[in-house]
C-alpha cells in the first residue's frame, strides 16, 4: 500500500481533476435537472460502477493493451463517441416538452444506472487516464503494483461519488423551477443534446496520444 503522504497527494490531485466537468458530469447534471435528486444520484452510482471497470482494467493491465493497440483504442473510442452522439440526437428529436407530459419522460432507475455505466465505460479517455494517472502514485518497492492500483482506484471512486453527488444535489436543487416549465424543459433537451453531440465529436477526434 502506498504511504500516507502519497495517498494524501493522490487525493488532492484527484479532487482537483474531478471538479473539471466531463461527459459523466454532463450526464449526471442533465438527469438531475430533468428528473430530480434521486435520478441524479442513481446516475452517479451507474457512472462509478463504470469506474470500477476501469480500475480493474488498469490493475490487470488491460488498459495497457488498449493504449498499445491502435485498433482496440479506435473501437472503444468510436463506440463511446457513437453513444454520446446517439444521446444527443435522441434529445434533439424527441417530442416537444409542451406536448409531452413530464411524468412520461422519466427514465427508470435501471435505465439511469445503465446509461451512466455505459457513458463512463465507453469513454476511452477515462481508460487511458487511469493507465497514466494511477501508476504515478504506486511504488514497486512497496510490493505488487496491482493491489496498490486497486487502493488508489477505490479512493478515486469514493471521491468521485462525493464530487459527482454534489453536482447532482446542486443541479437538482437549482432546477426545480425549470422542471415546471415546458419551454425550459425543451431548451434543456436542446442544450443537453448539443452538449452530447459536441462531446461525441471530441471523443471521435481524440488522437491516441490524447
Which pLDDT belongs to residue 127? 77
Mean pLDDT value of segment 106-130? 83
Query: Please, are residues 66 and 124 in contact by the beta-carbon 8 Å criterion?
Result: yes
Please determine, for residue 15, whether its predicted confidence score (pLDDT) is greater than 60: yes
- Read off φ and ψ for residue 164, nearest 5 degrees: -65, -35
Which pLDDT belongs to residue 135? 76
Query: Please, are residues 152 and 9 in contact by the beta-carbon 8 Å criterion?
Result: no
Least reliable range by pLDDT among 25-34, 119-128, 154-163, 172-181: 172-181
Which pLDDT belongs to residue 42? 95
Closest CA to 54 of 190, 145, 154: 154
Please determine, for residue 117, whether its predicted confidence score (pLDDT) is greater than 80: yes
Domain range list for the chain: 23-205
- 92-112 per-position pLDDT tens digit: 786 554 444 434 357 788 989
Which pLDDT belongs to residue 102? 39
Which pLDDT belongs to residue 113? 94
87 confidence band (pLDDT: 50, 70, 90): confident
Closest CA to 35 of 113, 123, 93, 89: 113
Distance, CA of 168 to chain centre = 13
Mean pLDDT, the chain, whole residue set: 77
Closest CA to 66 of 130, 160, 16: 130
- The Cα–Cα gap between 78 and 81 comes to 5
Query: Please, are residues 78 and 85 in contact by the beta-carbon 8 Å criterion?
Result: no
Q: In Å, how far are 25, 38, 54, 60, 198 from 179, measured between CA atoms?
A: 19, 14, 34, 44, 24
Maximum mean pLDDT: which of 128-137, 157-166, 186-195: 157-166
- The Cα–Cα gap between 67 and 125 comes to 10
Distance, CA of 12 to chain centre = 19
Mean pLDDT value of segment 132-136? 75
44 confidence band (pLDDT: 50, 70, 90): very high
- 22-37 per-position pLDDT tens digit: 778 888 888 888 888 9
Q: Which of helix, strand or coil describes residue 144?
A: coil
Distance, CA of 2 to chain centre = 26
Amino acid at each position: 500500500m502506498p504511504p500516507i503522504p502519497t495517498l494524501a497527494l493522490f487525493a488532492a490531485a484527484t479532487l482537483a481533476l474531478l471538479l473539471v466537468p466531463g461527459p459523466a458530469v454532463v450526464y449526471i447534471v442533465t438527469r438531475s435537472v430533468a428528473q430530480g435528486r434521486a435520478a441524479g444520484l442513481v446516475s452517479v452510482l451507474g457512472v462509478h460502477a463504470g469506474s470500477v471497470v476501469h480500475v480493474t482494467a488498469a490493475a490487470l493491465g488491460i488498459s495497457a493493451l488498449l493504449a498499445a493497440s491502435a485498433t482496440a483504442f479506435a473501437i472503444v473510442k468510436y463506440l463511446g463517441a457513437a453513444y454520446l452522439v446517439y444521446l444527443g440526437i435522441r434529445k434533439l428529436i424527441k417530442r416537444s416538452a409542451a406536448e409531452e407530459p413530464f411524468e412520461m419522460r422519466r427514465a427508470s432507475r435501471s435505465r439511469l444506472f445503465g446509461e451512466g455505466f455505459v457513458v463512463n465505460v465507453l469513454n476511452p479517455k477515462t481508460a487511458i487516464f487511469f493507465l497514466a494517472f494511477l501508476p504515478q502514485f504506486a511504488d514497486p518497492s512497496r510490493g505488487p503494483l496491482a493491489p496498490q492500483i486497486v487502493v488508489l482506484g477505490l479512493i478515486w471512486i469514493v471521491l468521485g461519488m462525493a464530487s459527482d453527488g454534489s453536482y447532482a444535489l446542486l443541479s437538482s436543487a437549482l432546477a426545480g423551477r425549470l422542471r415546471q416549465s415546458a419551454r425550459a424543459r425543451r431548451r434543456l433537451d436542446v442544450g443537453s443534446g448539443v452538449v452530447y453531440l459536441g462531446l461525441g465529436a471530441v471523443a471521435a477526434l481524440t488522437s491516441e496520444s490524447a
